[in-house]
Amino acid sequence: MVMVAVTALWSMAGVVTRQLESARSFEITFWRSFFTVVSLLIILPLWQGHSVFKRMPWRSHYFWLSGVCWSIMFTAFMVALTLTAVANVLITLALGPLITALFSWLITGQRLPLRTWCAVCLAGVGIGWMFASQIDVAANGFWLGVTVAIAVPIAGAIQWNLVQRSQSQGLALDLVPSVLLGAVFSSLFTMPWSVPFQATAVDVQWLALLGLFQLAIPCVLSVVCAKVLKAAEVSLLALLEVIFGIALAWFGADEKPAVQALLGGSLVLFALLLNELFAWRQRNV
């Protein structure tokens, strides 16, 4: 349930960016990451105490790799959108559960149940159905945009499996602060590309909202969820971000989805529901 709430918060980016007046592309990513840093500098001490920064595992390669993965996820999505169509990017992101499942097998040796593999494939078909008619392979920037976009599900797959692997090895690592590290990396990378700033005061307020509620809070909670759920299940549930995003754009920005988007979204929800239903039945046998 927490992971579902996380995806709902992640999905607010689309409807909020519709409210922006002047900020675009890299500047949006910069301000969003910057306010994520500011938010976490307040949230982490309140949650884990003022010694949280002293306890950060600076010598752990898990910590640094996790931070890099977060920075890639924060940045590559927006960069991909500047290179190719939204549909092309979203279709690419839909590969996340499959890539995560493969990495779970290769990295942690974790064997996934048949129900999860079936749900991954069915959800992928649903996402493909939603955006298939909008894909334009011949468009300028398609292959470059898709190449950048695929970095997001790959980084996500590594991220979720890092949490799983550190848990399975009995390492007392807290990878929650790695979200802060990733936001710092993302801010530093996008700042040179954002100058001169064009965001208005209203834009900055909206982007501060995204930094707190669309990245800082849900990303921290997703790390907590990844300690309990299997990596593939986290990635599979993350597909709800697309469904929630369409719904919010519909009700909040009057962007009515096409019939195929509704049918494809229903297929994704059906796949997720079946996966969780069979999991619940197995736990109660």
Cβ count within 10 A of residue 85: 18
C-alpha angle 70-266-225 in degrees, rounded to nearest 5: 30
Better-scored residue on pLDDT, 183 or 112 = 183
User: Contact 219/39 with Cβ under 8 angstroms?
Assistant: no
- For residue 130, what pLDDT is reported? 73
Closest by alpha carbon to 24, among 242, 244, 200, 273?
200
**pLDDT by residue (tens digit) across 125-140?**
887 777 676 666 666 6
Strands (E), 178-276: none
Whole-number Cα distances in Å, 150 to 5, 73, 90, 225: 24, 10, 10, 23
**pLDDT by residue (tens digit) across 32-71?**
999 999 999 999 999 888 888 888 888 888 899 999 999 9
Give the range of the structural domain holding residue 230, as residue numbers without chain letter. Answer: 2-283
Q: What is the dihedral of CA 43, 46, 47, 48, to 10 degrees?
A: 110
Task: Say how many domains are in the chain.
Answer: 1
